[in-house]
A and B are shown apart, each in its own frame.
Chain A
Amino acid sequence: MIVIKNKRSKLKLYLFIALMLSVSLLHFAIFYVYVNFDTVRLTFFRFDEIENGYVFNGFKNYADVIRHTFIEGRATDLNTFLNTFRAISVNLIILPISIITAYAFYKKVYAEKTFRVIFYLPSIISIVVQCSAFLAMFKTYTYNGEEFYGPYNQFFRLFGYAPEWLSTASEGNTMWPLIYAFGIIAGLGTNVILMSSAMLRIPSSITEAAELDGCGFYRELFTITLPLIMPTITTWITMIVTSVFGFFMQPMLLTEGARGTDNKFYTIPWQIFDQVQNGAAKSTIPAAATLGILLSLIIMPLVTLMRWIFKKLTPEVSF
């Protein structure tokens, strides 16, 4: 505890605290308060080319998105909306895999350390590089009239399964499974580490006692390990729901920028990315802001609901 001897020291201390806090507060004010406030503000404006500025547009931006997506149910808008939520399903598939893998590491399976490194590799390699390598595995190459296939493409052909894996046409049904597969491979590493860390915190006395009582590998997982790491899983479930906000790199890179017929592969974050990147940025920014806010309005109650449900289901654990 700091003992303040005199007024000058007190002043110095307060100055020091103020200085230390000022950076964080400034950061918070600019990158959180201002950015979010301005995003909300822009949703009520449109860019006027003649005034070269934003003019009030009421709720029209919201009305347009709602009308196109939910009332008229335009295929392009509806597909974009629904695709966005595929991020949740990708992560729900990752969840059990990462728990089992982390548990295997926790139980020190053979070559556990090597596997740990291998699993973590996708997390430290650029997603662009990973996507290129992944695409090459499935691609069909034509050279001088002869066709050559990527390793996985070749493998599936041995069993007579030879679709055009990377087709973005309406009848092509392999691109989404590839996006899922890639999402799982790329997302597994971080999640395994998260789960492993939670498991490593379990006191060894508990697991030793369980083993002495004859608890097997799987029984220990389901009756001891899982209940004890439930707080981590709850947090992770919350993160799964919010993952929809960042779901665009995987489909965008794997389809090589092709949105597909009626936006078969498009997602809202990808659309926002396009709207703030293109040449007419000022005129498309309000639409991008509106999509972002609407998505938040849908996600926020969902996150709250999920947290509430999982808190009810999760036993109070402290160790």
Chain B
Amino acid sequence: MIKKFIALLLTFTMAFGTLGLVACGGGTKQSDAFTVTYYPGGYGNDWLEEFVKEFVAEKKYDGDVSKVTSADYKLTPREDVAAYSTQIMKSKNCPDVIMANAIKNDDISDGLIADITDVYNTKVATSNGEIAIKDYIMPESKMQFTRSMRPAGTDSYQWAIPWTAIPLSIAYNETLLKKIAHTTSGNVGDCVEDGFWAKAPTTFEELMTCFADIKAQGTVDGNKISAFGWSMKDGMLWFESLIYVWWAQYQGLDDSKIENQNSFYDFFNLDTAEKYKQSGIVKSLEHIQEMITADGSFANSYGDPSALTIKDVQPAFARGEMVFCLTGDFFAKEYKTILANNSDKVNAKLMPVPAYDNEHNENYTFLNITNCMYVPNNAKNKDMAKEFLAFINDEEHLIRFTELTGAIRPFGANTPSEKTAMKEKYLAAKTWGDFEKSTFELYFGCEDLVLAFPRNYKRRGENAEPSIIYTYKNARALTNDYASIVDKMRTTTVQKIVVGNDDSSLYKIAVDYYKDLESAYGKYMIKSL
């Protein structure tokens, strides 16, 4: 009897175990709700919720937003949405729209992402009449998401649409800066008035003088302050804004300023390791070296950068503990509470990257354009999702997005006159803080944008897409191991780090990397101009 009972129990356990597994795979029945899985980032989700509700109201309730209930839509925040996009799209609960901080090439090749070329062809309302999204969007941003399903394919599709473009640069605390006395020697341009810093430095030389003054003074209102906030535990993203701008200024953005060398944008064709010998790389890194190191140690820096992450540094900047800090347009929104609590000692603004020198002084802004939205092929409401992507791109929604986030979407500002007009519209949308105003200036006021992107290939008039390495490997120009570069800067020359004979020099690593790529994909790689 006992044995029979045990046998029965085991059989039931097995049966329910199997059923349990089946249930796990199946998930719950998906409702008709419009679903978005999004990367929360530093911009909040107010805008997304508002836009989704409006869109659903238009589709279901003749535009009556008050009728939209939580059963009509579902927004799911996921910090790791880019890393787990494949699993998310393959699941039974696949969302209708994914809003991520990057798009995965494997997902495109595997057919998980829907072609949204028709969204790009959709016309949206603007103050200049109806314009197709493909003509309204920033060309580089469009190119970023134009790809064949496979590298070397001749057909091209649009796979994603950007939801923001992030200007990255140095932020400065104007309140503190104005309390820094100029006591050291060095060029200050017209930044100093009555012996105190009145304006942010406009050249690298002025920045270094300012750092020296901050170091000499040491305190403001009795509180110890540092010159510059950065962190070694993070990758190179935060320094990219400076490095790329200085590199582009020295090297030439589209056309090379240096004999027998290619331009900055040619580098990103990434066709040969020899590009790592561009003088602009060494020159820009030498500036970084001068900024943050002295006598074999880190200098001018907040705390010990080797023990910090950017999540330690940026809040400290918002508390007024340093004058300059690496950050982006999201800063004011992300640290809103800290900034409000320290408003007496912090007035943060984003400044243009100080010019390399007086001869290389083009006003460039580094822009990160990887944040994007796309539609999974597996989405239940695929057509609706595509409509949503078009819905949020008219001028009214662009301005409201900025109103709610302080950030800018890369649309409607492709010519100097359009830039001026859009800037005016954004400025008129509401009463902005100084930080947001400086962000707009950085975005709209710059001479040209610097992107880690092979922009030059289009100039050849060929139908070729960006090189395989760029599109399908998304190679970082200066390796992901940026912490090592910064660390080594204290004890060795940048020349050695970049093009030295050491096996760990950037050039040597690139030679090895390109050797493999050349043998696998050589005939498909775009050669530089």
Contact = CB atoms under 8 A, between A and B. Distances in A.
A78 B109 CA distance: 35
Contact of B473 (A46, A140, A262, A280): A280
B521 interface: yes
Nearest to B308: A166
Nearest to A19: B14
B302 A280 contact: no
Contacts, number: 115
Nearest to A72: B503
Contacts of A167: 304, 306-307
B321 interface: yes
B307 A165 contact: yes
**Most chain A beta-carbon neighbours within 10 Å: one of B14, B82, B83, B106:** B106
B472 interface: yes
Nearest to A257: B233
A46 B520 contact: yes
Contacts of A168: 232-233, 306-307, 483
B444 to A, nearest CB: 31
Interface residues of A, number: 46
B7 A259 contact: no
A261 B488 contact: yes
A58 B319 CA distance: 57
Interface string A256-279: 111111110000000000000111
A140 B102 CA distance: 34
A283 B483 CA distance: 24
B481 interface: yes
A280 B109 CA distance: 12
Nearest to B222: A145
Interface string A50-63: 11100000000000
A143 B319 contact: yes
B309 interface: yes
Contact of B150 (A52, A143, A164): A52
Interface residues of B, number: 50
A49 B86 CA distance: 17
B45 interface: no
Given A50-B150, A262-B484, A280-B474, A145 B223 contact: yes
B304 A258 contact: no
A169 interface: yes
Given A142-B302, A258-B232, A279-B102, A50 B14 contact: no
Contacts of B233: 168, 255-258
Interface in A29-70: 46, 48-52
Nearest to A277: B83
A281 B106 contact: yes
B317 to A, nearest CB: 11
A245 B341 CA distance: 48
Contacts of A282: 106
A49 B474 contact: no
Interface string A118-148: 0000000000000000000001101111100
Interface string A206-249: 00000000000000000000000000000000000000000000
Given A76-B504, A140-B307, A145-B219, 16 more contacts: A2-B3, A20-B10, A49-B105, A49-B109, A50-B152, A52-B109, A139-B307, A140-B303, A144-B223, A145-B321, A167-B306, A168-B307, A169-B304, A257-B233, A280-B106, A281-B86
